[in-house]
A and B are shown apart, each in its own frame.
Chain A
Amino acid sequence: MTATTSKSTATAISAAPDGLPLTITAAAEALRDGTFTSVSLTQAVQARSDTLDPLLGTYISRLDEAALDAAAAADAELAAGVDRGLLHGIPLGIKDIIATREGPSTAQSLILDPGFGTGPDGDRYDAVVVQRLRAAGAVLTGKTTTTEYAIGMPDESKGFPTPHNAYDLDFWPGGSSSGTGNGVASGQFLGGLGTDTGGSIRMPAAWSNLSGMKQTFGRVPKSGCVPLGFSYDHIGPLTRSARDAAAMLAVLAGHDESDACSVNRPVDDYVGALTGSMAGLKVGVDLSFLDWAACDPDVAGLTRDAVAVFKDAGAIVTEVKLPLWQELCTATMCGLVIEGMAYHRGDFRSRWNDYGRPTRLSIGQGMFMTAADFVQAQRVRRVGVRAVTELFGQYDLLITPTTLVPPLPVDNLDFGDLIASILTPYWNATGNPAMSIPMGLTSGGLPVGLQLAAKPFDEATIFQAADAFQLLTDHHLVESAAILELLS
């Protein structure tokens, strides 16, 4: 394993001249010890965006004025002794398929009704998750780039920014939560919201050196988010550290009757679960992917290094084979394009050419699958859930790499190559919580991730292990040399 400079997660500071905190946890400490105010922190990340956003394609729209107002309010509250918790006064980015009251959401598409996110009274409203972040005192800096309707790949022909990887601008940050990914990775905000239907939080997390959680289906309400595949969609956090993700999910999770899929059960104390230890955890590791021809040698090596960290830390690690792997991944990809087709059929008929080609090619496949295929996909999901549940009778966590390869070149993206490179859709089929955490940089300097999955609603165990891993490795605190050079 390649050792990295040891930094305390609580005091992680950027090597850039602005000395920004790298994590939400460190920023929260800085707001309370007087190193930063929320206004000065927000101004600093906005200054980064002035330089970086035009190069990285992070934002669809920046909410500079509203963010500064929210930051001033946070400072006033903190000064008055009103402390709303770790997110109070922290700049966060919101993927532009999630409604916010400041302005329209685009879903990075010419198609979406500009009235999306407007209530019967004509006023714009916040998605439930945005309401919760605001109530926690977060500062929303803007709406971030995605791929059209959170599927496919970038399409410059429609006039939206193309996101670039913060670790090498010639590469893609992963998607579809691309702008949230490269925005956190470049310090334009300290955390953000993504969505995940087949891997759209975990892929950009892996490829932008972040911690990204797709929690259990139904754990976080989706009301106010543009749907892609109704039964596969999740909204979740992207952050540098697992501790930060735990703090965000603690705010986001919980029942809301506006989402029929939302589950009404208590939310665990995710931050309290961070014991710093993974000793005794039973961990199943599927290393068979490392033998696949498509698996990059650096990904294979870094995965073995990461597994060694688990063993050294006292986890009980056993090799396993995840059941129905290909079938469950296919059940996700087939199901989501059929569900997407059901949503988009009317607009496809009337505005076909306004859709980007990658969207037409991916969701359009739903036109050519049968009802029997859809029912079979749902039945296979049920069988898969049973098989995975049986496996979780023996293990606390199941681990794989997040992707088979490092980030793909942004100028030569192919949808088939992309789907073949990700190991994420499996957990959208079953609904289990799954998280990607950084496991180091390849020899080419590109980030890759390790995927941890757990029993339904056991996000706390994932956070516990991920946090313990990050106390031992610091991969998540390795900044991009390219960004540091741009900021120098």
Chain B
Amino acid sequence: MTDSTVPTIEDFQSRAADQGFEFELARYAAALSTHAGMRDALLRLRKVPLSFLEPTEPNSALVWIENGGESK
């Protein structure tokens, strides 16, 4: 996975506003810097291939999950 979705300060402003927060610009920069430090680990977590997780996943999800989360 290429990291083409690195959030921007504007993204963070939008997400924070959605939850009722508004900060000065420096705080978003600090948050983005912290996020950047764990970005690689987060991407690695996102791309873990997962098998069927009985019983929490519906049967209909099995093929989709076995295809690595993609419709093929």
Contacts and interface: CB of A to CB of B under 8 A. Distances in A.
B63 interface: no
A352 B42 CA distance: 26
A305 interface: no
A115 B37 CA distance: 37
Nearest to B28: A368
Contacts of A352: 21, 23
B31 A365 contact: yes
A376 B1 CA distance: 16
A349 B21 contact: yes
B44 A330 contact: yes
Q: Give the one of B12, B16, B38 with max A CB within 10 A.
A: B38
B11 to A, nearest CB: 8
Which secondary structure dominates chain B's binding surface?
A: helix
Interface range on chain B (Cβ under 8 Å from partner): 20 to 34
Contacts of A326: 41, 44
B45 A382 contact: no
B53 to A, nearest CB: 5
Given A367-B15, A367-B19, A324 B34 contact: no
Given A383-B51, A383-B53, A330 B45 contact: yes
B53 A379 contact: yes
B52 to A, nearest CB: 10
A235 to B, nearest CB: 27
Interface in A363-380: 364-365, 367-369, 372-373, 376-377, 379-380
Contacts of B19: 345, 349, 367
A416 B48 contact: no
Contacts of B34: 361-362, 365, 415-416
B38 A330 contact: yes
A380 B38 CA distance: 17
Contacts of B53: 379, 382-383
Which 7 pairs from chain A and chain B are nearest by CB? Answer: A330-B41, A330-B45, A416-B37, A349-B20, A361-B34, A380-B48, A327-B48
